[in-house]
Amino acid sequence: MSGDIHDPGQRRFLFLQGPHGPFFGRLGRMLSLAGAPCWRVGFNRGDQAFWPDADRYIAYRDAPEAWPQTFRDLVARHGITDIVLYGDARAIHAEAIAAARTLGLTIHVFEEGYLRPYWVTYERGGSNGNSALIGMDVTGMQKALAASTGEQPEAPAHWGDMRQHIFYGAAYHAFVLLMNRRYRNFRPHRALSVAQEFRLYLKRLLLMPALWADRVIATARVRGGGYPYHVALLQLEHDSSFQAHSPFGTMTEFLDLLIDGFATGAPGHHHLVIKAHPLEDGRVDLRAHIRRRAADRGVSGRVHFLRGGKLAQLLDHARSAVTVNSTAAQQVLWRGLPLKVFGTAVYAKPQFVSDQPLPDFFRWPDSPDARAYRDYRRFLLETSQIPGSFYSAKGRRQLLRQVVDLMLARDDPYELLQKGRAAPRQQLRVVT
C-alpha cells in the first residue's frame, strides 16, 4: 500500500551536512537499527566530530569542482537510495540534489521549523522556496484536511534551546578552525571565514547576559510607549532563505526600503519596531545603519531596534508586520495581523499576505483571512512540522520518536494527507 513503510533493508542512506550538533549522528544510528545502512559524507572536521560511526564516515577532501562526480560515484559504490541533508541552498547540497533527481533518489530535507520554535521541518525534494508547499493552494489543503481527525496542538511561547544552538555552533566552528588540516580544500558556504564565524559565536556566548539586558529594556520601552507600532522581522543576512529566495542581496537594502516606506506612508503618530533575528551576531552593525537611515528620512524618534527577544510580547500589541520571508511571520498570521512580505515563502499565499505598496500598507494595511490561515497551519502540523528540535537533548528525543518512520514511509507527508490516508506518525506498518 502506498502509505506503508518501505522494507528498511532495501534502503541505503547517504547523509550530507546537517545542523550543528549530534542530531544527524543519532538519526543515522536509529535508521541503521531499523535495518537501513547509513553513510555520512563529511566536508570538514566539524562534520566528522558529530558522526560517531567511523566505519561509515566518508571524508571529502577534493576540490569543490570534483564534488558532483564524486557524489555520483558514491551513490553507485554504496547502492544509495536516499540522501539526507539540512537546507537545500548551499552549493554542495544543490549540486547533490540535482544529481539525485536524475538518479531517482529520494531526497530528505530538514530545516528549522516553519512553525518554530517547537517544531522541525521535514520535507522531501526541497525546502523554503523549493518546498512543495509553494505550488499548493489553500483550497487543496482544506480538501485534504476534510477527512482528517487530527487535532492542532498549541505552541509553547519560548525557544527552549537557544543556548544549545549557539553552543553547538561554536563547537562546530572550533573543530573546523583548530583541527581541519586534513580538509585543506574545504570552503565554507558563507562569506565569512571559519575563524571569523568562530569568533562571532564565541562573542555571542560571552555577551549573552548583556544582550539580554539590552533587549529587555528596549522591549519594555516599546511596550510602555503608548503609541501604535508596526514590527519588522529581520533575518540573518547569510541565511539561505534570504540569499536564495529574496530580491535583496543585503539586509541593509531591505532596511532602506523599509524605512523609506514607513517615512512615506505611516501616520505621524505610528512607530516602527525593527526586531533582529535571535541569532544575529553583529557581523553588520544594523543598529547604526538604522539610525542613519531614520535620521535621513526624519523619523529618528519613531524607529526602534531590538536585539532579538520574545516575539510574542511585541506582536500582542502590534498593528502589522513586515518581513522579507522570515518563518517568524507565521506567528504574525496566527494572531490575524496584516503581513507584508518581499521574498518567496511557504506562507506567502494570496489569502494571507498583502499585495499593497509598502507606504499604503503602513497607512492602512489589508488583513489576512484568519480562517484560511488556521486551516493552512493545521495542514502543516499534520504533515511536515515535527515536534522537537535539533539542539536540545529532550528535543532530539522527541523528534527521533517520529521522524524515522516518516523517512521510511513510501509517500511524503504532504502526499499521504492529500491521498486521504492517516498521518504517518499516527499509523504506520512495515511491509515485508
Domain extents in the chain: 8-163+383-419, 188-375
377 grid coordinates: 497551519
What integer is the mean pLDDT of 285-299?
96
Can you tell me which residue has the cell 502509505? 3
- 73 or 208, which is more confident: 73
Contacts 24+ apart (CB under 8 A), 192-199: 192/238, 192/283, 196/283, 197/173, 198/170, 198/173, 198/174
Contacts of 73 (CB under 8 A, 6+ apart): none
Q: What is the pLDDT of residue 175?
A: 93
Statement: residue 313 has pLDDT above 70: yes
27 grid coordinates: 538519526
Q: What is the pLDDT of residue 322?
A: 98
Pick the CATH number of 8-163+383-419 from 3.40.50.10440, 3.40.50.620, 3.40.50.20, 1.10.1370.20: 3.40.50.20
Closest CA to 230 of 239, 220, 242, 222: 222
What integer is the mean pLDDT of 85-106?
96
Contacts 24+ apart (CB under 8 A), 347-351: 347/114, 347/376, 349/137, 349/138, 349/376, 351/138
Closest CA to 159 of 113, 121, 197: 113
Cα separation, 180 vs 15, in Å, equals 20
Q: What is the pLDDT of residue 93?
A: 97
Mean per-residue pLDDT over the chain, rounded: 89
Closest CA to 88 of 126, 134, 141: 126
What integer is the mean pLDDT of 8-27?
96
279 grid coordinates: 541569532
Residue 230, classed as helix, strand or coil, is: strand
Closest CA to 329 of 399, 277, 390: 277
Statement: residue 212 has pLDDT above 70: no
CB 32 within 8 A of CB 39: no
Q: What is the pLDDT of residue 260?
A: 98
Q: What is the pLDDT of residue 200?
A: 66
Percent pLDDT > 70 in the chain is: 86
Cα separation, 345 vs 336, in Å, equals 18
Q: What is the pLDDT of residue 426?
A: 42
Query: What is the H or E stretch that residue 295 is in?
Result: helix 286-296
pLDDT tens-digit map of 356-389: 999 999 999 999 999 999 999 999 999 999 999 9
Lowest mean pLDDT among 132-136, 212-216, 221-225, 227-231: 212-216
What integer is the mean pLDDT of 9-31?
96
Q: What is the pLDDT of residue 145?
A: 92
Can you tell me which residue has the cell 580538509? 183
- 155 or 383, which is more confident: 383
Is residue 247 classed exposed, middle or buried when 0-12, 13-18 and 19+ CB atoms within 10 A define those classes? exposed
Give, in order, the Cα–Cα distances in Å from 372 to each of 151, 286, 336, 337, 414: 16, 35, 11, 13, 18
Tell me the pLDDT band of 6, cut-offs 50, 70 and 90.
Answer: low
C-alpha 344 chain-centroid distance: 13
Lowest mean pLDDT among 60-64, 193-197, 350-354, 388-392: 193-197
Model-level pTM? 0.86
108 grid coordinates: 530528505
Tell me the pLDDT band of 169, cut-offs 50, 70 and 90.
Answer: confident
Please tell us whether the domain made up of 188-375 is placed in CATH 3.30.1380: no
Statement: residue 191 has pLDDT above 60: no
Statement: residue 109 has pLDDT above 70: yes
Closest CA to 253 of 213, 302, 293, 312: 293
What integer is the mean pLDDT of 247-253?
95
119 grid coordinates: 517544531
Top mean-pLDDT range of 152-156, 169-173, 196-200, 213-217:
169-173
Domains 8-163+383-419 and 188-375 share a fold: yes
Tell me the pLDDT band of 150, cut-offs 50, 70 and 90.
Answer: low
Q: What is the pLDDT of residue 281?
A: 67
Q: Strand 106-112's sheet: what is its strand order?
A: 57-59, 38-42, 13-15, 82-86, 106-112, 119-124, 385-387
Cα separation, 205 vs 311, in Å, equals 21
- 326 or 209, which is more confident: 326
Lowest mean pLDDT among 14-23, 115-124, 134-143: 115-124
